[in-house]
C-alpha cells in the first residue's frame, strides 16, 4: 500500500498520509506524491476542493528523521519538501485538513496554508525545530507570530512547546474541534459544501484573503529554506537525529 493515498470522489480530492507504522512521518517520495497531486489539482477542472488527512491517532510526525540524516546534495532542483511547500502555499482552490493526534514540525506548519482545519480533541501541534538544531520552515517564522502573537509563537518556536486543540482554536489556527472519530467526516462534509459553490468565486475570495501575504510568504520560505539546509548539515542537528534513531533502534523492553 502506498504511503500517500490519493482519492477523488465527486470534485473532492483527498490526500491521506498512510505511513502509520512510522507515525506518518514524511519521506521524499511522499512529498513528491503530495506536490504532484496538488499541482495537478490546481489546474484540473475535475477537482474543486482538496482535503489533507492523516489517521485518527496521528496526523504526522513531521519529516522523516532518516531522510534528515542524509540530506540531498545541493542542486538547482528544489528539494521535494520545498516543492510540496510551494504547491501547498500557492494552491488556489479551497484546501481543508482533518488533524488528529500529534502534528509535528511540517505536520503543523503545512496547516498554516490550509483554509479550514478540523481537529480531533486529541490533536497536539508542535514545531520542535530548535530542539533539533533546525529553524522554522513553511514561512512559519512569519505566519506563527502573525497568527498567535509573538509571545505564544516564541513558546512554540523557540522553546518548541506543543499546543493543544483548544489553544489552536482560540488562536484561530483551526476551525473546529470534534471527537477524533468525527474529524475526517466533518472535513469531507465541509469539502462537499464548498465543491458545489461557484469555483471562480472561491478562488477569487481565497486570493483576496491571502493577497497581503503572498510575496512575504514566498520570500520568507526561501530564506528559511537556505538556513534550514545549512543547519541540517551542522553537528547539533545531526546529533539530535542520531539520538532519535538510536533511541528508536534500541530493543523494545
Residue 195 CB, nearest distance to ligand COA (Å)?
32
**Using rule CB under 6 A, residue 48 touches ligand COA:** no
Backbone φ/ψ region at 55: left (φ over 0), alpha (ψ -120 to 50), beta: beta
Nearer to ligand COA, 53 or 190 (CB): 53
Q: Which three cell numbers stand for residue 154?
A: 516564541
Write each residue from 164 to 203 as x if it is in contact with ligand COA (CB under 6 A), else as -, in one continuous string. Answer: ----------------------------------------
- Regarding beta strands 163-164 and 124-126, do their DSSP bridges make them parallel or antiparallel, or are they unpaired? antiparallel
| CA–CA dist 57, 25 (Å, integer) | 13
Binding part of the chain for ligand COA, among 38-46, 60-68, 147-155, 211-219 by CB under 6 A, reads 60-68
Contact positions with ligand COA (CB under 6 A) in 209-248? 248
Q: What is the full DSSP assignment across 164-229?
A: EHHHHHHHTSSSEEE-HHHHHHHHHHHHHHHHTS-HHHHHHHHHHHHGGGHHHHHHHHHHHHHHHH
Kindly write out the interface string for residues 87-126 of this chain, putting x where it contacts ligand COA by CB under 6 A and - elsewhere: ---------------x-xx---------------------
Binding residues vs ligand COA (CB under 6 A): 22-23, 25, 61-66, 102, 104-105, 128-129, 132, 248
Amino acid at each position: 500500500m502506498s504511503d500517500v493515498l490519493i482519492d477523488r470522489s465527486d470534485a473532492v480530492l483527498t490526500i491521506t498520509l498512510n505511513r502509520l507504522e512510522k507515525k506518518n512521518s514524511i519521506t521524499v517520495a511522499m512529498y513528491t506524491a503530495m506536490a504532484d497531486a496538488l499541482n495537478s489539482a490546481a489546474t484540473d477542472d475535475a477537482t474543486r476542493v482538496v482535503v489533507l488527512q492523516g489517521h485518527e491517532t496521528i496526523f504526522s510526525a513531521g519529516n522523516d528523521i532518516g531522510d534528515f540524516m542524509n540530506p540531498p546534495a545541493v542542486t538547482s532542483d528544489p528539494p521535494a519538501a520545498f516543492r510540496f511547500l510551494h504547491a501547498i502555499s500557492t494552491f488556489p482552490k479551497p484546501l481543508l485538513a482533518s488533524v488528529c493526534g500529534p502534528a509535528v514540525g511540517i505536520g503543523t506548519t503545512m496547516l498554516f496554508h490550509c483554509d479550514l482545519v478540523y481537529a480531533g480533541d486529541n490533536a497536539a501541534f508542535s514545531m520542535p525545530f530548535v530542539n533539533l538544531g533546525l529553524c522554522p520552515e513553511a514561512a512559519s517564522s512569519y505566519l506563527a507570530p502573525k497568527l498567535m502573537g509573538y509571545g505564544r509563537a516564541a513558546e512554540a518556536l523557540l522553546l518548541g512547546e506543543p499546543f493543544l486543540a483548544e489553544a489552536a482554536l482560540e488562536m484561530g489556527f483551526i476551525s473546529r474541534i470534534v471527537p477524533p472519530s468525527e474529524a475526517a467526516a466533518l472535513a469531507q462534509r465541509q469539502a462537499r459544501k464548498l465543491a458545489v459553490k461557484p469555483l471562480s468565486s472561491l478562488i477569487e475570495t481565497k486570493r483576496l484573503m491571502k493577497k497581503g501575504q503572498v510575496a512575504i510568504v514566498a520570500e520568507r520560505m526561501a530564506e528559511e529554506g537556505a538556513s534550514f539546509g545549512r543547519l541540517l548539515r551542522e553537528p547539533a542537528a545531526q546529533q539530535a537525529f542520531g539520538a532519535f534513531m538510536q533511541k528508536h533502534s534500541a530493543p523494545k523492553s
